[in-house]
Chains A and B, each alone.
Chain A
C-alpha cells in the first residue's frame, strides 16, 4: 500500500484532512460568531464609540466585538486581515479604498437593505456618490467633511481688506497686500507634503479652478484645463508672488494647522472641521478670528471644493449568514443612521470631537446650529458643503498613482519641472495603471 501512495494522492488526502479540520474548526467558530458582530474602526473617538456601542448592546441584546487600529496602519492592517480571513463584519472605510476593497471582494453592497438606503435622501449628494462604486452602494455615512478656505479676519482688517477674496486672483492680490504691510511673511497656507491629505488639497484647488483629474469615463484629463490653471497658480504663488512658502512641500496638514493657529498666515486651505480648533482659545492664538469663506474660484471655475467621507462598510462574512447580516445592518443603522429616532452618533461625534456630518437635516437641528454658532457660520458651512464634490481619482490604482501625482506636483512647485511636464507625468502614470488593471 505504501508503495502505491503517489505524490498526488498524498497531497489529495492531506488536503482533504486539512479541509475537514478547517470545516470543523469553522463550525466551532460559527456558533458563537452568529451572535457576536465584529466591528473594526481606526482609533478615533474611541470612548464615544464604546458608549454608543454599550447602548446598542443594551437595547438589542446583540453582542459586538469592537477593535480599533491607528489610522496610519489601518488600510494595510485591514487588507492583511481580509487576506487572512480574519472575522470582520462591519468596519469604517475611507472613500479612497472603496474600489480597491470592493474589487477584491472584501466589501459587499448594502443597497438591498432598504432600512439603510432610506437615509440617502437625507445625505449630502457627494456623500452618496462617494459610497457608490460600479453602480452599487457600499455603505452608510460615518463622518464627512470638506476642504475649507479659512481666513484670519483680524489680519485682513489690519491690512485694510474689507471682505475675503472670492477668486484665486483676489487671493493673490490680498495676500500681496498683507505681505507688503509686514503682517505676514507667507500669507497663504497650502500644505503640500506627501501625505494622505495631499490629494484633498490638490482636488480642492483643481475643482475650484473648474478642472478635473479624470473624466466620467475614467480617462486622465489633468494635463490641461483647470488642473493646469491650479498648478500654475501654486507655482506663481511660490516663485512669482512669494505669498506661499516653498516649505509648503514639507508642510503636512497638522503642521499647517499649527502655523495657521499661531497667526502666521492670512489665508489657508484647511479641512473645515479644524475651524473648531482654530477658534478654541486653549488651542489657538487666533481664536475668534478664523472664519470660513466660500472656496475662491479660479478663472472658469466655481466655488466647488472637495469632500471626503468615511463610511460603515459590510463584509461578505456578515452577509453570508442571514441573522448575522440582520444584526450587522442594525449596528450600521445605529451608528450611521438614527438611533432611537435621532442621529445620535453624528451628534455625539460633532459635539465631542467636532467631526462633521453628511446629514443635511442636521444643519437645521437647533442643537447643532447652536453648537456650530460658537465657531462658524452654519449657513455658509452648509452652503459650501452643498458645493463639495467627491474625489474623481478614486480607483483601484489610486494609491500607486497618488504617489507619482504628489511627487509631480511637488516638483512643479519647487520649480524642478514645468506645470505642463508635471501633469503630463501624472496623466501618463494614470493611463499606464488604468491599462494594467
Chain B
C-alpha cells in the first residue's frame, strides 16, 4: 500500500504533477470545459462586444472603437441619473430588508404556538416567481382599480383614489416595497440560521452579569449575527442593484424617467435600441461596480472580525 500510494503521489518528471493530481485534472476537465463554454466564454465575449460599435439594425458596420463605448456611457448624464436611482432603490430596499428580516428572525427564534405554520407562510412570497410577484403588485398599485386604493378608501384614509406608480415621487419606494416583500423571507431564514448558532451559554453568562433584554440583544445577538448580516447585506445589495423584473412589469422605467435604473437602461440599450456595444459596456460597468461593492463589504467585515 505504501509502495503503491507512494508511487501514485510521485510527480512525473515531465509534468511535475503526481498521478492523483493528473487524475483529478482529468476528471475536472469536462466540467471546466462546460464552464468555459457557458460562463467564461460569454463573459469574455461580452467584453469583446463592448469594444465594438455593434448595432443590430446597422449590420453592415461594426467598427472596433476601443473603449469608446465605456466613455460614451460614463459621460452620459442619463446613465448617472440611472446610477443615482439605483443607489436610492438599493439603499431603501436593503435597509428595509435587513430590519424586517431581523425582526422576523427574532420572532421565529422564539417558541410559541403556531410558529411552524408562520414559518411556512413566511416562505410563500419567496416561492412566488418574480414576474408573478410583479403582476400581483401591479394590480395592487393600480390607480383605477387597485386593491391598495380600495382598502384605503373603504377605511376612510383617502377621499379619492390616489395615483401610486404614476407619481414620480413615490415610484421607487413602491417598487422597493414590492422587492422587500419578496426578499424578506430568504433574508429572515439566513438570519434565523445565524441566530440558532449563537451558543445559549453566552446569553446565560450575560444574564448572570445582569444584562437585560436590550443589552443582551446589543452585546450578544447583534455581534454574533455579524457574518449572517454580511451575507444578507452582500446578497441583497447585489440583487437590488441588478434588479430588473419589477421595473419592467410595474413601470417600464416610467413615469418619465422616475424608475430608469441601470438594469433598465441596459435592457433598453441592448434589447430595444439593439446597441449591443454600449449595452455590453453598461453591463460590464454594473458588474464591476457590484464586484467592487461586494469586495468593500467583505473587507469591512473581515476588519471587524479581526478587531
Contact = CB atoms under 8 A, between A and B. Distances in A.
Contacts, number: 89
Contacts of A396: 57
B255 A195 contact: no
A79 B256 contact: no
A247 B163 contact: yes
Interface in A212-268: 245-251, 255, 259, 264
B268 interface: yes
Given A399-B272, A400-B273, A407-B254, A416 B56 contact: no
B58 interface: yes
Contacts of B161: 185
A194 B254 contact: yes
Nearest to B144: A259
A199 B151 CA distance: 34
A340 interface: no
A80 interface: yes
A80 B260 CA distance: 26
B252 A416 contact: no
B272 A83 contact: no
Interface stretch (B86-94, B165-173, B192-200): B165-173
Interface in A379-413: 396, 399-400, 403, 406-408, 410-411
Nearest to A246: B163
B109 to A, nearest CB: 41
Interface in B247-268: 251-257, 260, 268
Nearest to B160: A185
**Size class of the A contact interface (CB-based, 8 Å):** 35 or more
**Size class of the B contact interface (CB-based, 8 Å):** 20 to 34
Interface in A71-94: 76, 79-80, 82-83
B56 A414 contact: no
A247 B59 contact: no
A249 B163 CA distance: 10
Nearest to B168: A414
Given A250-B255, A410-B254, A104 B168 contact: no
Interface of A: 76, 79-80, 82-83, 100-101, 103-105, 185, 193-195, 245-251, 255, 259, 264, 396, 399-400, 403, 406-408, 410-411, 414, 416
Given A245-B163, A410-B254, 20 more contacts: A76-B271, A76-B272, A103-B57, A104-B58, A193-B252, A245-B143, A247-B163, A249-B254, A250-B163, A251-B143, A251-B166, A259-B145, A264-B144, A396-B57, A399-B272, A406-B254, A410-B255, A411-B257, A414-B167, A414-B256
14 contacts: A79-B57, A83-B56, A105-B59, A105-B60, A249-B255, A250-B142, A250-B163, A250-B164, A251-B166, A399-B273, A400-B273, A403-B272, A411-B257, A416-B168
Interface of B: 56-60, 142-145, 160-161, 163-168, 251-257, 260, 268, 271-274
User: Which 10 pairs, one residue from A and one from B, show the smallest C-beta to C-beta distance?
Assistant: A247-B143, A411-B256, A250-B166, A249-B255, A194-B254, A247-B166, A247-B163, A410-B256, A246-B163, A410-B255
